[in-house]
Structure 1
Amino acid sequence: MSYVTEQLLENLREARVRKGFSQRELSARSGVPQSHISKIESGGVDIRVSSLITLARALDLELFVVPKKSVLAVKSIIRSAQGNSDVAKQMSPAYQLDDDDT
């Protein structure tokens, strides 16, 4: 499994834990079976884009594609927002797709 995939899965799991959701509760909120969430978080299956979007929405996350040249600026804005408000933590993306990741 690539570092990018591992980081994505860890970010999803951390977002779920931050929200205080069990896998079962996230399943109920997202419609993704709990057993599949478990496999996704453990890296046992490749996550589909549709599942990623569904889980992200259930966790109040927004996914977006950022041009590689803008990644550092976006990360800086997110860090700055996190420093100013605990609510800003909800804004951090689950994953940013760089041009090199395609």
Structure 2
Amino acid sequence: MPLHIEPRRLEGLPEAMRQSLVAARRARKWSQLELGRRIGLPQVHISAIESGKVTPRFNTLLDLVRVLDFDLLLIPRSLVPAVQSMVRDHGQPASEEDRPLYATDPEGEADHDT
């Protein structure tokens, strides 16, 4: 058995990652042209990355992710479901029962016991 692992060539970004990048760009109301301008790539290259026709180099992916206010993390595979659940729940509104003790009430005043 070899002492090294043969690297597997990535055949494009996973669909979920591409969709997340598109959603993050659209949430900022940026066009592909604007995103490309911010990281120094032509619009056609952004389009090719988003459509899966081009696999970006790591540095390009890192630039894309960071300009969209995200980050890349190495997560042990056993923890991926838990992290995905946390990310999925991040944007969901909390119910009244889930509201932390330090949250403000709808009028903007801090909750106190008086």
Question: Could you state the TM-score of these two structures normalised by the residue count of structure 1?
Answer: 0.71
Q: Which structure is higher in helix share?
A: 1
* 1:70 partnered with 2:79: yes
For 2:49, the aligned partner's letter is: I
Distance 1:76 1:6, change over 3 A: closer
- Return structure 1 stretches of 4+ with deviation > 4 angstroms: 1-4
CA deviation map 1:44-87 (0-9, x unaligned): 112211111011111111111211111111122223332247xx
Give the unaligned 5+ runs of structure 2: 1-9, 95-114
Q: Which residue of 1 aligns with 2:48?
A: 39
Aligned CA-pair RMSD: 2.2
Q: Which gives a bigger RCO, structure 1 or 2 (Cα 8 Å, sep 6+)?
A: 1
Number of aligned residue pairs: give it.
85
Contact 2:39 2:64 in 1 (8 A): yes
Distance 1:81 1:9, change over 3 A: closer
Contact 1:32 1:51 in 2 (8 A): no
Contact 1:12 1:56 in 2 (8 A): yes
Give 1:51's match in structure 2, choosing from 41, 46, 60. Answer: 60
* 1:25 partnered with 2:37: no
Identity %: 39
Contact 2:36 2:46 in 1 (8 A): yes
Question: Could you state the TM-score of these two structures normalised by the residue count of structure 2?
Answer: 0.64
